Chains A and B, each alone.
Chain A
């Protein structure tokens, strides 16, 4: 009887551990790359994104194709400081996006991915030569507790 109780306890512990491990896997991953890690000053910088649904549920969300689809696009200089916004971004107010032109519905099934592109240098001032780091954040739908998904960080070098 004692051995049976111990086995039950051990089994329960293993189940809890497995659940914890499963729960620790982020429901989404966001990977960014750039086709041109080194560009000349004045050239545009583009980031390609791949959002993947790692959960076992379908994720549905709307997408407008604008910068406002993302919680943040952080561009930092070599000292780690956020670079200034361009005039376009400084005039934007994504927190109060009231109207859309382009607008689509997306449904990501488990393990499916969606690709996107952001013209980073149109929104963050990367005009000065130097090394910049870029990281993008995306906010998941409410059904996924609005978790903020952080991408990897990439480096872009702007040469004179």
Chain B
């Protein structure tokens, strides 16, 4: 056996005494350990152990070794290949470090070599969420709730020795889930455009997030790190956090209109006929717009944790054609829109959709267009997509706009085709109707790059 070989296996031997008496915890030697030894020679130690009861087996610097561990005392016998030497050690209070002495005998140049060793177990990392370690745990969250995770080795030695880190992306049944996003951009103070922020792509830093689950379900995240201690490197076990995500279920949406009491914030009690196209004071050509003739109402119901429905309407098309009374070409007109008119889809008026009942369970609409004297016929082709979303109630301790985002539930496509003609008596006569498709459940977010502000006059060509 060479001195080098001796040095490599030296830290193993000796053991036999274990330290300072029994302690309350039951420290396990199972897993991967790294560290260093010193004495007549010095070097690094990379060890891996398994345990069966109090019996220990494993390798130290690639050489097999067996021993015992009763939870407070570790004794490693001779390296099997060579049959000499021993080591003994004692655990640190948190079981992460094993320190002891080694004795190697029968070397060629030295009858006896002694020294000390310290090896550290870089075990499963912590995964912190809202101040708690959720590694290995199942944590309850809500769809639309901000999630920010921080990972870390379980002890300071391994934190200092961490070389790299690796997060998984949000997983569902072991595969990346489609039900998670990095954010949703519109806010009540900035909604000219809207987009979905992708999940963070950097999975190699201490923290991962923010991200949001967008549907109820069970999801997981994993985290591990690599380390290097005195040249001995390794990879930690993988820590897994499981999220059971609550959210709206049993979502349904009823569509009605006509003789319901919008003024009192009434809900639809069933699917029913929509309102009628009418001429209302102004004069305006309007879909509904008076008591007893509501254009369209949509009422959502669901079983859900604390939160509110969020409505967003996008204009899919809105064109007015107007025939001048004095003759001339028919004009094609569009509502005011930024950055350019006639571009659809565009957000309808505001985010979130503003015409809802106090409970937020029903959204109404009665779109109208003015009827100037200068025209004898005005037609409007209006189509919209009402998106139903749901936003959880933010936790009291969370502040800021990012605590929650809405999660999509589905949408309704509906449209109105309306015409007003000026008759010989100088009276506007309405015609046309509105219609709506059934609610379609969907997990797609409504996005837009255009905003139909409706703040002004028609823009005609």
Contact = CB atoms under 8 A, between A and B. Distances in A.
Interface of A: 43-46, 60, 62-68, 87-89, 91-94, 96-107, 115-117, 119-122
Interface string B344-369: 00001110011100100000111111
A29 B291 CA distance: 25
Contact of A103 (B189, B355, B370): B355
Contacts of B457: 93, 96-99
Interface stretch (B71-79, B241-249, B313-321): B313-321
B365 A102 contact: yes
Contacts of A105: 262-263, 289-291, 294, 364, 366
A65 B189 contact: no
Contacts of B358: 115
Nearest to B287: A103
B190 A122 contact: yes
B367 A103 contact: yes
A66 B367 CA distance: 13
* Max count, chain B CB within 10 A of own CB: residue among A87, A103, A117, A120: A103
Contacts of A99: 318, 320, 335-336, 367-370, 454, 457-458
7 contacts: A62-B366, A98-B370, A100-B369, A101-B348, A102-B349, A104-B364, A122-B191
Contacts of A116: 354
Given A101-B349, A102-B350, A103-B366, A88 B454 contact: no
B456 A102 contact: no
A88 B295 CA distance: 28
B349 A88 contact: no
B189 to A, nearest CB: 2
- For the residues of A in contact with B, the DSSP-based class is mixed
B120 interface: no
B189 A122 contact: yes
Given A66-B349, A66-B354, A102-B349, 9 more contacts: A63-B355, A68-B455, A87-B338, A102-B313, A102-B367, A104-B355, A104-B365, A105-B262, A117-B188
Contacts of B367: 99-103
Contacts of B294: 105
A101 B454 contact: yes
Interface string B442-461: 00000000011111111000
Contact of B454 (A43, A66, A121): A66
B192 interface: yes
A88 B338 CA distance: 7
A101 B366 contact: no
A101 B384 contact: yes
B366 A104 contact: yes
Contacts of B177: none
B195 to A, nearest CB: 17
Contact of B189 (A43, A87, A88, A89): A43
Contact of B455 (A63, A67, A117): A67
Contacts of B372: 98
Contact of B349 (A44, A65, A89): A65
A108 to B, nearest CB: 9
A43 B187 CA distance: 10
B188 A103 contact: no
B189 A119 contact: yes
Interface string B371-384: 01000000000101
B349 A64 contact: yes
* Max count, chain A CB within 10 A of own CB: residue among B335, B338, B354, B455: B455
Contacts of A63: 354-355
Nearest 7 A/B pairs, CB to CB: A44-B189, A65-B354, A104-B355, A107-B263, A93-B456, A92-B455, A98-B370
B264 interface: yes
Interface string B425-445: 000000000000000000000
Contacts of B263: 60, 105-107
Contacts of B353: 65, 102
A148 B169 CA distance: 55
Contacts of B348: 101-102
Contacts of B354: 63-66, 102, 104, 116-117
Nearest to B366: A103
A129 B350 CA distance: 26
B289 A62 contact: yes
B262 A93 contact: no
Given A102-B348, A119-B188, A91 B338 contact: yes
A44 B262 contact: no
A100 B287 CA distance: 11
Contact of B365 (A43, A103, A121): A103
A129 B126 CA distance: 42
Contacts of B458: 98-99
Contacts of B291: 105, 107
Contact of B453 (A88, A103, A106): A88
B171 to A, nearest CB: 34
A106 to B, nearest CB: 6
A121 B313 CA distance: 22
Nearest to A47: B189
Contacts of A94: 455-456
Nearest to A113: B358
B281 to A, nearest CB: 10
